[in-house]
Structure 1
Amino acid sequence: MNLERYQRIQQVLKARQADLTLCLEDVHKPNNVSAVIRSADATGIHKIHAVWPNEMRTLSHTSAGARNWVDVETHDDIDTAIAELKAQGMQVLVTNLSNSAVDFRQVDYTKPTAIILGNEKAGASAKAKQLADQDIMIPMLGMVQSLNVSVASAVILYEAQRQREAAGMYDNDISSVPQQTIHRLLFERGHPVLAKVAKRKGLPYPTLDEQGQIVADDQWWAEMQKK
């Protein structure tokens, strides 16, 4: 890994927002999932959550690109997902055109926040709407009453980014992402081939120096070279 790439990865990880996330509920079109993850990466999201449709239990059909930089945590159902998000102290918002919905720009996204996005056909489930803290909507001035789920995610996330950037939340020298996770990402993204071998053999990732180069003892290298 060259120094420029190592420094770029460090810069990206420092800006990651561990307390801002999305939760996809039964979003089933791979191109939409890929687009949502791309927007999440672009706005500094560290992890998104998902409840997949029964016929789609993995991300195998989505493009690798941004997915390599955004963790995806899968939940069995929306109840479990929302319970975990609330346990983390997040306000849970759901996109839903209801009488109680507020303009998405009126929300304070500098607070720990999770945004539920429902599937392409029916939107968020009744359970998600019931458990969420607040309904939000994107004002529509045309004949169409909703945006594509990937477009909606980008619109909302960039408002969240705007607010957090104004509050200086992307300028922290110390990332809100755990150091152990940062080390894992630095190693896996900087040394992908060696990371795969180490993972397959159950070996820990060794330290990286200031240049992003591996600092490991002879025993680790010997284990890595064994067939």
Structure 2
Amino acid sequence: MPILPRRFERLRAVLNQRMANLTVLVEHVDKPHNLSAILRSCDAVGVLEAHAVSLSGRSRTYNSTAQGSQRWVPLHDHPNIEAAVQTLKDRGFHLYGTNLSVDAVDYRDCDFTGPSAFVLGAEKWGLSENATKLMDTDVFIPMRGMVQSLNVSVATATLLFEALRQREAAGLAPSDGEGIPAENYDDLLFEWAYPDVALWCREQERAYPTLNAEGEIQEELPRNAKLRC
């Protein structure tokens, strides 16, 4: 069944505000509630995708806190923190690690208008020693209370919304798809609108069909593919 035009327009409007140059990397954050809340914040701000290094043998689950955001913000796995950091640096990201080091900078004094990746560790022990050595800048969120740290999902939301605030103030928050590489936009829109058909296309190693302005597939598909619409 073709997607309803109103639904398609909603998907396109959200995708048009996504930012490929803002992301989150979490290290050993495996609690379902925390992961779910982090992805929900990513979705709310307009993060295109997130990254994770998980503890060995831990299966990933989400709870109702995510509100389905894991469908809209893919979480890419990396085998270790070194590989994850290298991937992000190769893409031009500046890595901001949450760490109370002597050189840490108040997050409000940082410039997050460029490619920015926030790197956070598990709430109990924070970033690993290996991770802290690989960061470009250590950042902290000032506290006025007796407890000197935030829940990792709250810290993530705080940093992400500051990045969004800065970008909006600088006129850099995308509104018409300019936050996504042009060569990826149509494929992402198709995957959002027809995820099952997109999976079938990948299995068949074929390009995605084109869509018209109302989101209808402009190609006659085999019956087994039509059933996935």
Structure 1 match to 2:70: 67
Q: CA deviation at 1:190?
A: 2.1
Once the two structures are superposed, what CA deviation does each residue of 1:77-116 show, in whole Å capped at 9, x if it has no partner?
1111111111111111100111111111111000111110
Q: CA deviation at 1:197?
A: 4.5
Does the aligned pair in 1 maintain the 2:18–2:174 contact within 8 Å? Answer: no
3-state SS of the aligned residue for 1:170? Answer: coil
Q: CA deviation at 1:10?
A: 1.2
1:162 and 1:213 map into 2 onto residues whose CA distance is: 35
2:90 is aligned, of 82, 87, 91, to: 87
In the alignment, structure 1 residue 54 sits paired with structure 2 residue 91:
no
Two-structure CA RMSD over aligned residues (Å)? 2.1
Q: CA 1:33/1:164 → structure 2, altered by over 3 Å: closer, same or farther?
A: same
3-state SS of the aligned residue for 1:169? Answer: coil
Structure 1 match to 2:25: 23
1:126 is aligned, of 129, 135, 140, to: 129
In structure 1, give the amino acid aligned to 2:126. Answer: G
Q: CA 1:88/1:197 → structure 2, altered by over 3 Å: closer, same or farther?
A: closer
1:21 and 1:2 map into 2 onto residues whose CA distance is: 30
Q: CA deviation at 1:173?
A: 2.9
1:41-190 equivalences in 2 (<5 Å): 41-57=43-59, 59-62=60-63, 63=66, 65-179=68-182, 181-190=184-193
Structure 2 match to 1:4: 6
Identity score, percent: 42
1:38 is aligned, of 37, 40, 54, to: 40
In structure 2, give the amino acid aligned to 1:111. Answer: G
* Residues 22-31 or 82-91, more deviating: 82-91
2:192 and 2:175 map into 1 onto residues whose CA distance is: 22
2:122 and 2:184 map into 1 onto residues whose CA distance is: 30
TM-score, length-scaled by structure 1 = 0.89
Does the aligned pair in 2 maintain the 1:13–1:175 contact within 8 Å? Answer: no
Task: Structure 1: state its 5+ residue gaps.
Answer: none
Does the aligned pair in 2 maintain the 1:27–1:119 contact within 8 Å? Answer: yes
Task: Structure 2: state its 5+ residue gaps.
Answer: none
